[in-house]
Amino acid sequence: MDISNKSLAFILVVAIVISLGGTIVSLNRLNQFGFTGAATGTDTGVANLTVNSSVIITFVTPSVDFGTGNTNDSGAGIENCTIDTNGTNPSNSGGTVGIWGTQRCIGFNSNVAPFVIRNDGNLNVNLTLASSANSSAFIGGTFPAFQWALNTTNACPGGNLNPLAWQDVNTSAQNVCTNYNYSDGSDLLTLNIRVNIPQDAIPGTHAATITATGTA
């Protein structure tokens, strides 16, 4: 039996439709499994930096200047003038009792700020202090005194701050704070200075250098 041209065309169209439908179904199933048929490639990159350890100790207030003056010789024996940065101001007229006896301070500065030390690094450190001179070398005379005392709120945690009370300065490195904090707001130490200037102190300009050293 002969098949007409219209019948052949119809059969061809149906075959094409069925074929397209099967192809679409197959592609949808492949997409469900993540197969898109597209070629892909991946790679990775790395960003690097290195932060160095840093130990930096800074004297924010780098000097203590008691100024120029002398000790008033108005009484019997050797008179003494005691000055410190902790609020015991000298008295020009005398009569203020200090730890070395009656003071007689003339001309010296009456309100002197203490040293302020700051840990500017990025590590907690052990801090030592040393003076270039003791009381005899710094001031001279009969019974001079050159002392220091530390004060802080939280820069030296764990009760490891020393000295808190007046103590003769040390010309050798003295460990004053272990685990000295570097965090902002907790990195400041106050170093008060006290001097006793006897009447027979050596005239002239006197200077001593305080060295603060941090070790991680």
155-166 tens-digit pLDDT: 988 667 888 889
Query: Nearest-CA neighbor of 214 among 190, 182, 168?
Result: 182
| Structure confidence at residue 21 as a pLDDT band (50, 70, 90) | low
Q: Quick check: 92 pLDDT over 60?
A: no
Q: Quick check: 95 pLDDT over 50?
A: no
Mean pLDDT of 8-32: 67
In this prediction, residue 161 carries a pLDDT of 84
Segment among 16-20, 66-70, 167-171, 201-205 with least mean pLDDT: 16-20
In this prediction, residue 115 carries a pLDDT of 96
Mean pLDDT of 102-114: 79
| Structure confidence at residue 33 as a pLDDT band (50, 70, 90) | low
Q: Quick check: 58 pLDDT over 50?
A: yes
In this prediction, residue 109 carries a pLDDT of 84
Choice between 138 and 38, residue whose per-residue pLDDT is larger: 138
In this prediction, residue 139 carries a pLDDT of 95
Q: pLDDT digit string (tens) for 198-213? A: 889 999 999 999 999 9
Mean pLDDT of 99-104: 49
How far apart (Å, rounded) are the C-alpha atoms in residues 121 and 181? 9
Choice between 147 and 83, residue whose per-residue pLDDT is larger: 147
Choice between 38 and 189, residue whose per-residue pLDDT is larger: 189
Q: Quick check: 97 pLDDT over 70?
A: no
Q: What is the mean pLDDT of the chain?
A: 82
End-to-end CA distance of the chain: 105
Query: Nearest-CA neighbor of 131 among 67, 215, 213?
Result: 213
Indicate the DSSP class of residue 113: P
What separation in angstroms does the CA of 188 have from each of 123, 147, 170, 182?
14, 20, 21, 9
In this prediction, residue 163 carries a pLDDT of 87
In this prediction, residue 119 carries a pLDDT of 97
In this prediction, residue 93 carries a pLDDT of 37
Structure tokens at 38: 């597209």
